[in-house]
Structure 1
Amino acid sequence: MTIRDVVFPAGRQALYERNRYSPAIRSNGFLFVSGQVGSREDGSPEPDLQAQVRLAFENLNAILKEAGCTFEDVIDVTVFMVDPQTQFEKVWEVVPEYWGNAPHPTLTALGVTWLYGFQFEIKVIAKLPEASGA
């Protein structure tokens, strides 16, 4: 049986334990990050869409940092949006604040009907930095 090398960001472990999933797992030189939403400290959705997107990126960045990564290490992104036809432009006004410079990661964007009360979710795969001295 493989033992999962789980990455927990500071202060959010109870949320993941309650919902029974890992925020991220290191495996074979990669970091696989679960979907991150714009949840406030109590786990509720941030009501303003653009603030929710920013908070989702902040939650994502906390996990990346805990694993020794930044968004520059991200190679693949999947985003989920409720009602993308009306929300896409508002979401994409925020994304460049976090996205960095080209070349950008690959992207798959999906429209969904439900995200547990949220409007936006982002999940990524990142390349872990090489161990020093290796």
Structure 2
Amino acid sequence: MTRRDVVFPPAHQALYARNRYSPAIRSNGFLFVSGQVGSREDGSPEPELKAQVRLAFANLNAILAAAGCTFDDVIDVTVFLVDPESTLDTVWQVLPEYWGEAPYPTLTGIGVTWLYGFQFEIKVIAKLPEAAERRSVG
């Protein structure tokens, strides 16, 4: 079995350890990032939705940076929303702060009934820059 090339951010690891998953894995030139939520360092949810979305992006960006990426390297996004009918407009007010300019990544939005106490989760796949690929191989 091939050993997984796991990427950990400098902080926010309480949920990873508690739920036994890796924040991200480098593989074949891509970075596969687990769903990121607006969790505080202790793993608890940020209560206010806009702040929760911003914290989810901060957690996501920390993982991307640890792998040598930025959101500009993201090619595919999946967002999960609890009660999207009432939360989508609020989330969409925050996304432009992080989304960058066109061309945008692909996007799939999924409405769910439960996210471990959170209202928003974002999962991405990014293309690793060549320098980051060489670091992970060497």
TM-score, reference length from structure 1: 0.95
Instruction: Between 95-104 and 39-48, report the one with greater CA deviation.
Output: 39-48
Query: What residue number does 2:5 align with?
Result: 5
Query: What residue number does 2:116 align with?
Result: 116
Structure 1 residues 13, 41: closer, same or farther in 2, change over 3 A? closer
Query: What residue number does 1:95 align with?
Result: 95
Other structure's SS at 1:131 match: helix
Structure 1 residues 128, 44: closer, same or farther in 2, change over 3 A? same
Name the structure where helix makes up a greater proportion of residues: 2
Instruction: Between 13-22 and 55-64, report the one with greater CA deviation.
Output: 13-22
Per-residue deviation at 1:131? 2.4
Instruction: Between 11-20 and 108-117, report the one with greater CA deviation.
Output: 11-20
Note the residue ranges of structure 2 that are not aligned, 5 or more in a row: none
Per-residue deviation at 1:58? 0.3
TM-score, reference length from structure 2: 0.93
Note the residue ranges of structure 1 that are not aligned, 5 or more in a row: none
Query: What residue number does 1:50 align with?
Result: 50
User: 2-side partners of 1:47 and 1:67: how far apart?
Assistant: 29
Other structure's SS at 2:58 match: helix
Per-residue deviation at 1:16? 1.3
What percentage of aligned pairs have identical amino acids? 80
Per-residue deviation at 1:18? 2.2
CA RMSD of aligned residues (A): 1.2
Other structure's SS at 2:110 match: strand
Query: What residue number does 1:19 align with?
Result: 19
Per-residue deviation at 1:40? 1.1
